[in-house]
Amino acid sequence: MDQYQETHNTWNSVAKRYEEAFMDLEIYNASYDRFCELIANDKASILEIGCGPGNMTKYLLDQKPRYQILATDVAPNMIVLAQKNVPKARFQQLDGRYLNTISEKFHGILCGFILPYLSAMDTIRLVKNAYTLLYPEGVLYLSFVSGNDRDSGFIASATGERTYFYYHNVAILQKELTKLGFQIIEQLEVPYKRSDKIIELHTILIVQK
């Protein structure tokens, strides 16, 4: 079993626990608001990669009820929960490495904390595919943990499930985005309390085609 398959299996098995822990998490809401501000069309078509149980999808539709959202996730159990939590959105099981299989165009693409589960090479492929799928002036949202790729590796939960966690260099990613034709609009740093002793800094890049 490769590291992607093990990670995907873990997300599928922890879907309900993830929903209980993160469905009402509010620390990223200001960044979602900024994403929406940059999209002029109130009926915008939005693609979400890695929607989980629908927490981001729900927040966007609460703010912008006329958005047309296609939300995707690699884990079928996450899709089941998301359909229950946000019945107004469309959902599709999809591995974020294969955005090239989507034929629609979008005003915005939301990738909330997907990059930590994609290698540097697959991250570049994702942003290239996202650029192709976006309308002119389309907005791309990316969140991840900045760090050295050499520190990437498996992280185990208290119950033993493992995910392979990738760190990404902000400067390198910004360079690749700029090379593609994106303009860097915002870089935000959000502190996340992983445990009583560990505060993790999450980096958010909001860029525009």
Q: What DSSP assignment string belongs to 26-90?
A: -TTHHHHHHHHHT---TT-EEEEES-TTSHHHHHHHHH-TT-EEEEEES-HHHHHHHHHH-TTSE
pLDDT at 41 over 90: yes
The confidence band for 53, taking pLDDT boundaries of 50, 70 and 90, is: very high
Do the Cβ atoms of 155 and 163 come closer than 8 Å? yes
Largest CA distance in the chain: 45
Q: Any idea where the domains of the chain sit in the sequence? A: 3-208
Distance CA 39, CA 45 (A): 10
Res 198: pLDDT: 85
With residue 132 as reference, give the H or E element that holds it: helix 120-133
Instruction: Give the CA angle between residues 150, 156, 157 to the nearest 5°.
Output: 140
Q: Which superfamily is assigned to 3-208 in CATH?
A: Vaccinia Virus protein VP39 (3.40.50.150)
User: Taking all residues of the chain, what is their mean pLDDT, rounded to a whole number?
Assistant: 96
Res 1: pLDDT: 61
β-partners of residue 187 are 205
pLDDT, average across residues 193-197: 82
The backbone torsions φ and ψ at residue 118, rounded to the nearest 5 degrees and listed phi first, read: -125, 140
- pLDDT by residue (tens digit) across 56-102? 999 999 999 999 999 999 999 999 999 999 999 999 999 999 999 99
The confidence band for 208, taking pLDDT boundaries of 50, 70 and 90, is: very high
- pLDDT by residue (tens digit) across 122-148? 999 999 999 999 999 999 999 999 999
Residues written for the chain: 209
pLDDT at 164 over 80: yes
